[in-house]
Amino acid sequence: MTEQRASWIATAVFAVSATLGVAVDIMEVPALVVALVLFIGGMAAMFAALVIAAGRSRTKNISVGGLFFLAESAPRDVQVQLLGSLAAQCLIGIVTAAVGAAKEPRSPSAFGVLAPIAGLGLAGLWAARHGNFADRLDPSAQQ
């Protein structure tokens, strides 16, 4: 499965669970679990991205912006897919947290703001695997 598809699936699952979590009291805990699973999965993807990028950094000049935000490292269609799903996850998390807090001040929906780490981690994983980074200059060749 591609990172783009995984990110949109995560976004859809998060949207459904977070919406149900604020609409139906019995769904608060499952929505909390989904948000935490996406957060932990996103952290794992970020760790994997960093490990892969560290290996590539011997020959490529990898920046944090290029790695996690796809700046100048991914084609426009990939940027739209991965950053679009990340933006959607952020919006869903903020809106459902606000609605949940208005409904109940200590609402578990607040954990939804952690879920976008999944989108960020998957963007980083794509860039670490497939990103187009400039070659690292050989320091001995500059003298």
pLDDT surpassing 80 at residue 141: no
pLDDT surpassing 90 at residue 124: yes
**Domain map of the chain by residue range?**
3-133
pLDDT surpassing 60 at residue 142: no
pLDDT category of residue 137 using cuts at 50, 70 and 90: confident
pLDDT surpassing 90 at residue 140: no
**Residue 30 to residues 12, 108, 126, Cα–Cα distance (Å):** 15, 10, 28
C-beta of residue 127 within 8 angstroms of C-beta of residue 74: yes
Q: What is the pLDDT of residues 30-48, one digit of tens each?
A: 999 999 999 999 999 999 9
**Token match 């009291």: residue?**
25
Q: What is the pLDDT of residues 105-119, one digit of tens each?
A: 889 999 999 999 999
pLDDT value at position 1? 76
Distance CA 119, CA 117 (A): 5
Of the candidates 42, 38, 20, the residue with the CA atom closest to the CA atom of residue 109: 20
pLDDT surpassing 90 at residue 138: no
pLDDT surpassing 90 at residue 143: no
pTM metric for this prediction: 0.92
